[in-house]
Structure 1
Amino acid sequence: MSSKLVANQALMKQQNRARVIYTLWKNSPISRTGLAKMTGLNKATITNIILSLQEENMVVHKGSLHGSVGRAQKLLMFNENYGLCAGIMIRAKKINLAISNVHAKILWSTDVPFSAEESPLDVVDRVASVLEEGLAACKCYSEKFLGIGVGTASLLRHEDDMLYAIHSIDWRNVPVIQYLRQRFQVPIIADTASNCAALGEKYFGIAENVSDMLYLSVGYGIGGGLFLGGKLYRGKEGFAGDIGHMTLDPNGPQCPCGKRGCWEMMASAIPTGKSFLELRQAADEGDGTAIAELAKIGSNLGKGIANIINVLNPEIIVLGGDVVHAGKWIMTPCRSTLQEQVWPWVWERTRVEYSGLSSELGVSTPSIIGAITKVIELLFQ
């Protein structure tokens, strides 16, 4: 038997195993017959793979399905406590930490505040120590640590996972990922906060069955995560999604990046100096200034989204981050502007919605869930 044929057979076995694992993870509880139908694999192959997964404690039996005829079929369940997944979200003033099971159910979470004056690696060292405490607290669920997903509000050089720059705290070229790999000796996968949020929304949110989706994180700035053809799009160097610096008005306000009229200077909370929660509370109380500020932001948000729709034609645009607090005060003028600037036939077939995940851990929920999902995805590879 040629080495090429052996390699092809080994690859096929790996692919079959990954297909079964994903189908189990997605559709538990399920019978062997159901697995065979959903994966297209024969029952003998299914049986062999299941035996292997049971030995690894990845799969457990969970009752039986009694049909009208024949024997009852034993149901298989993906073991939700097969291992622990960690998520780290690096932001300008605090770092969010969470540990979950393999279905992204949060078992433990905390925040680590820090100041811009602290050394970046000192901050990361403190985060690692807190995470170790969290892992110790979660040993009652599982002692198997599967990995860490890291999201960052900075640009991320995908080639070497280097934090290229977080301008608001002057972190530049910080080797966070390399440090964490040395400390924990587990797989560590990094991406931007917006890409992580897009992934979380794709697996667990309102974009679950959507192939083409744009996630916009709108707060003190704007970031984007893009799914095209069902796959996360990063661009050549991994910088895709730095959408807040799209020029909306060349004569607009000065941006710290050096340009004028960047989208995030006109369609985020930056020009107000307040959070969207503060603006929403003021608007709800009838404050005319807050209402006008939110309306202007919503309109400018719509103008930028209209450009994106005209170029990419996504099925859904998901708005996440602090902007979810603004509710109708942002969404109504945003949709109104879109209706004016997008072809009617396209607009009728495009959804613009707030994230469905922005609750459990506050507005960071989609990003932290997405970071954790990057670890979960390793099970399917």
Structure 2
Amino acid sequence: MNWLGSFDPALSEDEDVFRRRAGFLYRLHVDGTMLLLLVLIGLVGLVILYSASGRNWDLVLKQGISFGIGLGAMLVIAQIEPRFMARWVPLGYLFGVFLLLVVDIMGHNAMGATRWINIPGVIRFQPAELMKILMPATVAWYLSNHSLPAGLKHTAIALVLILIPFALIVRQPDLGTALLVLAAGAFVLFIGGLRWVWIGSALAAVVPVAIGMWYFVMHDYQRQRVLTFLDPESDPLGSGWNIIQSKAAIGSGGTFGKGWLQGTQSHLDFLPESHTDFIIAVLAEEFGLVGISLLLLLYTLLILRGLVITVQAQTLFGKLLAGALTMTFFVYVFVNIGMVSGLLPVVGVPLPFISFGGTALVTLLSGFGVLMSIHTHRKWIAQV
């Protein structure tokens, strides 16, 4: 037995004996391996944020507090049995949609977008962040109550459940979060055995849907981001500035980087949003390829742990939800790094646990709390 809860109990042992032999963290429904990786990435985030924010201790302190609150939420959620979660998921979904409607009607506007509910002196948060967990949980709950692979009727109902919050989030506008919510629900359908002919049909519909969104859904600044992605140098001092400076910062880091606090692109204010969406460019400039590789290794290990939990899940609801949450986290990382390096259009997706932002941080850690709950509430486990 060790503090990570690594053990191999006999299949014949009942759950009580099993838990007495388990590690201390496991008895608290905490996966030690995942917790260790999360804390390491969180510490890296605080170190980079200190530099990216121009040595602003206030931002670092706020991020640290948000991380602590997120860990607390993760521990609380990990205590809740998955079957209890499934029972209340429908109400959670309705509550989440209600909050999105509140944002649409009377939300707080900032930087040209209405994405927040602001209670002065109490809290300010983005309800769209909650849907990153509630969406896959709702689709997993619905599909787990029917035979799989889902037929046309149940697939259509699942798509409606996905598209309602997607449309409300697009209206804010917040295309990046809307796409993540859409992906979270779609991953549940895919893991549930969505027929390949339907997947092919969806892929074939991408082009006409994209054209429709270009003309009727996307705002001018969003269309400009796509044009900038295709040709950043067309407006180097305007819309192309961010991505040009980001790539310059990444390239100037070389193999080992310029050293902590020695980056020029962010410290001389060439790199906008250096403490939020583009923070990985700061990491690349100061720690180089080695620093980026180590961070990617931590992310990869975390994703692999999530996939192991998915495979070992004992219920259909747990398997669908764990897989969707893990793959959504992968999309988070992939999209942010892709947009900062110029491989994808800029859509405003933060880098998990590194970018500054309290609501996203708490939501992400809450999602990992769900994964821990699915993993540690199993019975008669043969191997962890």
TM-score bracket for this pair, using the shorter chain length: under 0.3
Higher relative contact order (CA 8 A, sep 6+): 2
Specify the structure having the higher radius of gyration (Cα). 1
* Higher strand proportion: 1
